[in-house]
């Protein structure tokens, strides 16, 4: 469903994403983990076509996101870390607007908007101004806009950031249900969340892919939690960087 090959992104002298390759099969729910500044968001933006790669490519269901962007984007629903909301619009009005942008047939718009309002638990907020909603409700609107064109792939960048424990649980359950019939890529800093929701993990550090594993393998065969593995990788990587800096300084 998704193929990422030799992906590189540089900003001046900074190599934010360093030759990453992986593929994701239909129906997988994949955790995309890494510390702040590791290159996760940059990678996700390239996967959705919002940012061009410096080299390498991303294909979505066989469509190159740069060479055939319209076909690729039809397959993808994207929720960035800060949802692309218009605070002065009502929830239902906004979703109608997004549906039109995605080319949903005019006769189907009412049906699909009602579907996402119901699926994302926004029925009571349909006529409320987005700017007046709580953080959790705004995240639900962000999810609804990512789903309104019924994509086969969902890419979610920190969908539970800043939420309280109850809101996190609600969004987590929603993501699990959404993953029953579509491919999901979930970026999060909450490792127990990733362990509960996802079947596979990709860990990125300093722009490099340092782990690609089934979570079940880590838990059963390795006898480690996802947090154990993540901590070990981050400590090892940080130590390597520190050593490099010492050599360079000397």
Q: Could you give the CA distance from residue 28 to residue 15 in angstroms, rounded to a whole number? A: 29
Last residue of a domain, one of 123, 150, 177: 150
* Eight-state DSSP code of residue 11: E
User: What pairing do the DSSP bridges indicate for beta strands 208-214 and 200-205?
Assistant: antiparallel
Structure confidence by residue, pLDDT tens digits, 20-30: 999 999 989 99
Does residue 69 share a domain with residue 99?
no
Does residue 96 share a domain with residue 198?
no
Last residue of a domain, one of 89, 115, 150: 150
Does residue 184 share a domain with residue 144?
no
Q: Which domain holds residue 235?
A: 2-75+152-249
Q: Could you give the CA distance from residue 193 to residue 160 in angstroms, rounded to a whole number? A: 10
3-state secondary structure of 220: helix
Last residue of a domain, one of 122, 150, 178: 150
Report CA 44 to chain centroid distance, whole Å: 7
Does residue 159 share a domain with residue 61?
yes
Q: Could you give the CA distance from residue 191 to residue 194 in angstroms, rounded to a whole number? A: 5
Q: Report, in angstroms and rounded to the nearest whole number, the Rg of the chain calculated over CA atoms.
A: 19
Does residue 22 share a domain with residue 69?
yes
Does residue 161 share a domain with residue 234?
yes
So what's the pLDDT on residue 240? 42
Q: What percentage of the chain reaches a pLDDT higher than 70?
A: 94
Does residue 156 share a domain with residue 130?
no
Where residue 160 sits, what CATH number does that domain have?
A: 3.40.50.300
Helix (H) or strand (E) holding 101: helix 91-101
Q: b/e string for 77-113 if b means 16 or more Cβ within 10 A?
A: bbbbeebebeeebbbbebbbbbbeebebeeeebeebb
Average pLDDT, the chain: 88
Q: Which residues of the chain have pLDDT under 50?
A: 239-250
Does residue 237 share a domain with residue 164?
yes
pTM for the full predicted model: 0.87
So what's the pLDDT on residue 225? 81
Does residue 66 share a domain with residue 170?
yes
Does residue 210 share a domain with residue 165?
yes
Residue 230 CB-half CA count within 13 A: 20
Residue 142 near residue 111 (C-beta atoms within 8 A):
no
| The length of the chain, given as a count of residues | 250
3-state secondary structure of 79: strand
Does residue 48 share a domain with residue 161?
yes
Show the tokens assigned to 7: 């992906």
Q: Could you give the CA distance from residue 22 to residue 45 in angstroms, rounded to a whole number? A: 16
Does residue 215 share a domain with residue 97?
no
Nearest to 104 by CA among 77, 124, 131, 138: 77
Q: Could you give the CA distance from residue 139 to residue 65 in angstroms, rounded to a whole number? A: 26
Total domains in the chain come to 2
So what's the pLDDT on residue 239? 47
């Amino acid at each position: 469903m998704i193929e990422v090959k030799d992906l590189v992104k540089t900003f001046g002298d900074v190599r934010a994403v360093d030759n990453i390759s992986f593929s994701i099969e239909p129906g997988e729910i994949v955790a995309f983990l890494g510390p702040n500044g590791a290159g996760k968001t940059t990678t996700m933006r390239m996967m959705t076509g919002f940012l061009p790669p410096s080299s390498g490519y991303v294909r979505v269901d066989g469509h190159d996101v740069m060479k055939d962007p319209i076909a690729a984007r039809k397959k993808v629903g994207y929720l960035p870390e800060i949802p692309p909301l218009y605070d002065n619009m009502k929830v239902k009005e906004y979703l109608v607007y997004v549906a039109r942008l995605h080319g949903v047939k005019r006769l189907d718009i009412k049906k699909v908007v009602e579907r996402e309002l119901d699926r994302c638990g926004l029925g009571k907020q349909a006529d409320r101004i987005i700017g007046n909603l709580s953080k959790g409700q705004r995240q639900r609107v962000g999810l609804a806009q990512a789903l309104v064109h019924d994509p086969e792939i969902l890419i979610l960048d920190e969908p539970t950031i800043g939420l309280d424990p109850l809101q996190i649980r609600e969004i987590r359950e929603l993501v699990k249900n959404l993953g029953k019939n579509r491919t999901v890529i979930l970026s999060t800093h909450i490792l127990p969340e990733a362990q509960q929701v996802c079947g596979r993990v990709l860990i990125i550090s300093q722009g490099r892919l340092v782990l690609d594993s089934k979570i079940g393998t880590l838990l059963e065969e390795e006898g480690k939690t996802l947090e154990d593995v993540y901590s070990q990788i981050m400590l090892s990587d940080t130590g390597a960087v520190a050593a490099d800096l010492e050599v360079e300084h000397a």
